[in-house]
Amino acid sequence: DTAVSQTPKYLVTQMGNDKSIKCEQNLGHDTMYWYKQDSKKFLKIMFSYNNKELIINETVPNRFSPKSPDKAHLNLHINSLELGDSAVYFCASSQDNHNTDTQYFGPGTRLTVL
Amino acid sequence: GQQVMQIPQYQHVQEGEDFTTYCNSSTTLSNIQWYKQRPGGHPVFLIQLVKSGEVKKQKRLTFQFGEAKKNSSLHITATQTTDVGTYFCAGSKYNFNKFYFGSGTKLNVKP
């Protein structure tokens, strides 16, 4: 069974479109994250939710809106996509939001904006 | 700006050679984690260091946390082709519940 799953795995779209990426974890964790990994492999945290509540919101354009319908799901909606949004987006989860918790990453969604 | 620096960016070694990647922070960290990302894959947790001067081993991998808790290293003895991937450190500061990932070191091992 996949612990952290994301859909879709690949996403190719035109500039200006709106798209969503979905994430689900079956580990019973309370905290979920979205990371962006650019072409240089930098991993940058974007958002973190703990029990459906937003706890980390880094300097991310407000075109990005996370939504957590329940603690097992954290979706990412992106409006008006731009070329610079092209990256691999990783969802992750951890038991809680303590800084000693291990993070479990999903397989990633490779977003290409044309 | 980048909170945690990692060097080198790339390392190419012959199979059997040793490999080390270093992680440095300008501020004291509460703990540090190490992750490995295989090509085309996702980061996978390797280990966590919490105590000053801590050393942990996993088979051929040795992890160290500096005395000042500002730096860390991962050393692989006698690399194998299965070690290929990008190794990331991720540091967390006291009273903060997020990790700052280093820029990663991409290891290539030639058979």
- B44 near A CB under 8 A: yes
Q: Which of B42, B44, B48 sits opposite A108 (nearest CB)?
A: B42
Of A24, A5, A37, A15, the residue nearest A110 (C-alpha): A37
Q: Which of B2, B96, B101 sits opposite A99 (nearest CB)?
A: B96
Whether residue A56 and residue B31 make contact (CB cut-off 8 A), yes or no, is: no
- For every one of its 114 residues, what pLDDT tens digit does chain A have, with 9 covering 90 and above? 669 999 999 999 999 999 999 999 999 999 999 999 998 888 999 999 988 888 888 878 999 999 999 999 999 999 999 999 999 999 999 998 777 789 999 999 999 999
Predicted confidence at residue A57, as pLDDT, reads 82
User: Does residue B2 register a pLDDT over 60?
Assistant: no
Mean pLDDT across B31-40: 96
The more confident residue out of B48 and A40 is B48
Predicted confidence at residue A1, as pLDDT, reads 60
Convert the pLDDT of each residue in B55-80 to its tens digit. Answer: 999 999 999 999 999 999 999 999 99
Q: Which of B45, B86, B88 sits opposite A102 (nearest CB)?
A: B45
Nearest CA in chain A to B50: A100
Beta bridge partners of B110: B14
Beta bridge partners of A34: A47, A91
Nearest CA in chain A to B36: A105
Structure tokens at B107: 């290891």
Question: Would you list the DSSP string of B36-61?
Answer: EE-TTS--EEEEEE-STT-EEEETTE
Q: Which residues of A71-100 are buried (b: 16+ CB within 10 A; e: fewer)?
A: bbbbbbebeebeeebbbbbbbbbbeebebe
Chain A closest-CA separation from residue B83 CA (Å): 18
Contacts of A46 in chain B (CB under 8 A): none
pLDDT bin (cut points 50, 70, 90) of residue B50 is: very high
Q: Please enumerate residues of A whose Cβ is less than 8 A from a Cβ of B.
A: 40-45, 48, 55-56, 90, 97-100, 102-108
Cis amide leading into B111 (omega within 30): no
